[in-house]
Amino acid sequence: MKELGLTFEVIIPDVDEVHWDDNPVGTVEENAKRKCNCISQKHPDMIVIAADTVVVFDGKCLGKPKIIEEAREMLRLFSGNTQTVYSGIAIARPQHSLDLYLEKSEVHFREISATVINHYFSLVDPLDKAGGYDIDQHCDLIISGYNGSLTNIMGLPKEIVEKILCK
């Protein structure tokens, strides 16, 4: 948002999020709508942007690991493979209906040894990241490349926000 020159305030919505393993697109769209509606009802004169992101691997939605061993297992599974990152973005503007967008990116992982995983976790906290990694922190250790929006993989696709708000 700062890169786009936008002034903004972060407000954490109080909503129950869904997690449907077999429907990642529905998961991110529903959660983005819930977050956006929660905040826009309290602030009807504001433009509200809400997003939700999931990592999908082997047909399953993955969230943030709860313990370090779960994060290790995620990176072991990702080793040498590709995963998909979906983000749902909901935007509410005064006197407009809610707009809903979907962004999809792919992340390609290097072959990752246990030693590399341990080193990576000494540099990055995996428990605060969907999939147990952060593409903008030491990603060269574990990621070989990506297709699609980098900012989507980070959690908020800048391209969509720019298209809607910076016309």
Calpha distance 61→29 (Å, rounded): 13
Q: How far is CA 81 from the centre of its chain?
A: 19
* 166's tokens: 């910076």
Catalytic hit among 16, 52, 99, 134:
52
Do residues 35 and 27 touch, judged by C-beta distance below 8 A?
no
CA-based nearest residue to 18, from 9, 7, 27: 27
Calpha distance 80→102 (Å, rounded): 26
52 is annotated as an active-site residue: yes
Catalytic (active-site) positions: 52
